[in-house]
Amino acid sequence: MNGFSRFRILLTLAGMVFLTTILSAQTNFIYVNNDIAGPNSVSAFSVQSNGSLLPLPGSPFATGGTGQGIGFFATNLIVISSTGNFLFASNGGNHTVSAFAVNSGTGQLTTVPGSPFVAGVGSGLGLSLAVSPNGQFLFAGDDGSAYVAVFTIAGNGALSQIPGSPFETDASDIDGMAVSPNGKLLAFADPNGAIDIFSIAASGALLAVPGSPFETDLGRPTGLAFNNTGTVLYVGNFNVEDTEIEVFSVAANGFLAPISGSPFSFASGRNSNIVLPSPDNRFLFVSNLLSNTITVLALSPGGTPTLLPGSPFGTGMNLLTEAVATDPLGNFLFVTGFSGEIDDPVSVFKIASNGTLTLVPGSPFSNSPGQIRTGITDSLPTPEFSICVADSSGNRLLFDPIRGFFELQNCNSGLTAFGQGRSFSEGCNIFFFEPLPNGFVKGAINTCGQQGTGVFDGIPTGSGVVSVHGTILPITSCSCPLPNPS
């Protein structure tokens, strides 16, 4: 292990995810992997309308595993399933993954039978987690062995390794990990200078894509994140002077190529470990570990970053800045701090429409008992599908306009796509949607070589959805085969 890695293992890390549920009003929940050396736990909070945090009754929740208390700062130690009904937390001390069922109404956690589940095959700096967008697979990268275990997620949240798991990689270490929005690619950072990209088969099996691993120019990649279309990959870089990131275009087969101007360096912070695009892909939030700040970068459609005026923004904590995450609607940014002592806090920022950050009243908020470890993943709330549309090409489209989730099925081929974001492709199906200022959602489905493109416009109302283009079906009738649209 080189000197760079030895320096980093002296520091403790954090992890958090978020869940949004719709009841009579929207409620957000935040979950933090405390990863204390010894019996591990997950802290849970409800997020109030002004961004302030309240601990949930019963928090923290015991994982049944052993925390490690050391490791890489960008390791993803906690993730939530795409449907929001299961939460998974890694236990670095005994290389297991704990699974919880999530009560979407209260945010309460219940241990899944059989949890925790054995994941690691070595002993290193922890387990980095990622979940597939369709909620079928959980990936666990073992830093000590650089193997990746792949689990199927059962209907009750239980985990079982697939045949051939764990899969060997060429990496020397595994830090940040992410799955592309279409569920076809797994990416992780080797902090010794490379990005590994694997294709994900329908069975969950992993295969390195041609050209992988891809060397980085800055040489110390840590956290990484896809944009919401999966066409751009952002990578943070460990350093002691500036905010440094690399930006890659992502081909359909997973091949990475630096965009023009990459790598990018900004004199706005020190040690840019975690990178997180905003849900609308307009901004990139970067944690500056050693300067206790967050750098905000404005993003062009192609991913080119520019420093936002007023950036960086202080966290309000005289602590090492660790994990960052947003709520699913991009209203708030949550940041963890690390002191190495008990009760490491969580700061909350209000995100303005222009990307500037303002600490909410009461921030930072206590997280007893927690020295928190780093690891972050985009939160994925429970879809609340309210729109069902049929087009002339035999497609059905379920859409959640509040959270941006959609499920697309071609009734002729049986191909199903699930995702979240402004655009998504699966085989020859391409879906694009755009929220409009009047509350309408405008979208298009292109089924490539079939009967053309269906264009839809709809707005939720008290009695259903008003159709402008396309045929709106009752949610209860949204199944194949579809009636021909009128």
Residue bearing the bigger pLDDT, 400 or 192: 192
| Average of per-residue pLDDT across 161-168 | 93
User: Residue 217, Cβ neighbours under 10 Å: how many?
Assistant: 12
Confidence of residue 230 (pLDDT cuts 50, 70, 90): confident
| Average of per-residue pLDDT across 456-460 | 45
**Arithmetic mean of pLDDT over the chain:** 74
Confidence of residue 427 (pLDDT cuts 50, 70, 90): low
Confidence of residue 134 (pLDDT cuts 50, 70, 90): confident
Residue 315 clears pLDDT 80, i.e. is over it: no
Model confidence pLDDT, tens digit, residues 61-113: 999 988 776 666 667 788 888 767 899 998 888 889 999 998 877 888 999 99
Rounded Cα gap, residues 342 and 366, in angstroms: 10
| Average of per-residue pLDDT across 202-208 | 95
pLDDT score of 450: 42
Q: How many residues does this entry show for the chain?
A: 486
| Average of per-residue pLDDT across 465-478 | 55
pLDDT score of 71: 63
Joined tokens for residue 45: 């909070």
Residue 24 clears pLDDT 80, i.e. is over it: no
pLDDT score of 214: 94
Joined tokens for residue 472: 């709106």
The tokens 């085969």 sit on which residue?
Answer: 481
pLDDT score of 468: 37
pLDDT score of 176: 85
* Chain Cα centroid distance, residue 61: 22
pLDDT score of 449: 41
The tokens 């995450």 sit on which residue?
Answer: 325
* Chain Cα centroid distance, residue 111: 22
- The strand pair at 177-179 and 185-190 is best described as antiparallel
Residue 271 clears pLDDT 90, i.e. is over it: no
Residue 20 clears pLDDT 60, i.e. is over it: no
Percentage of the chain beyond pLDDT 90 is 26
Residue bearing the bigger pLDDT, 22 or 440: 440
Of 338, 333, 354, nearest to 271 by C-alpha is: 338
Residue 8, classed as helix, strand or coil, is helix
Residue bearing the bigger pLDDT, 130 or 450: 130
- The strand pair at 96-102 and 86-91 is best described as antiparallel
Residue 296 clears pLDDT 90, i.e. is over it: yes
Q: Where are the beta strands (DSSP E) in 360-440?
A: 387-390, 395-400, 405-410, 416-420, 423-426, 429-435
pLDDT score of 482: 46
Confidence of residue 365 (pLDDT cuts 50, 70, 90): confident
8 Å CB contact between 392 and 485:
yes
- Helix count (H) and strand count (E) of the chain? 1, 44
The pTM for the full model equals 0.76
Model confidence pLDDT, tens digit, residues 374-419: 333 334 455 566 667 666 666 677 766 555 566 666 676 655 555 5
Residue bearing the bigger pLDDT, 163 or 135: 163
8 Å CB contact between 291 and 321:
yes
| Average of per-residue pLDDT across 254-283 | 86
| Average of per-residue pLDDT across 276-289 | 85
Confidence of residue 257 (pLDDT cuts 50, 70, 90): very high
Model confidence pLDDT, tens digit, residues 49-59: 888 888 899 98
Of 477, 485, 457, 466, nearest to 390 by C-alpha is: 485
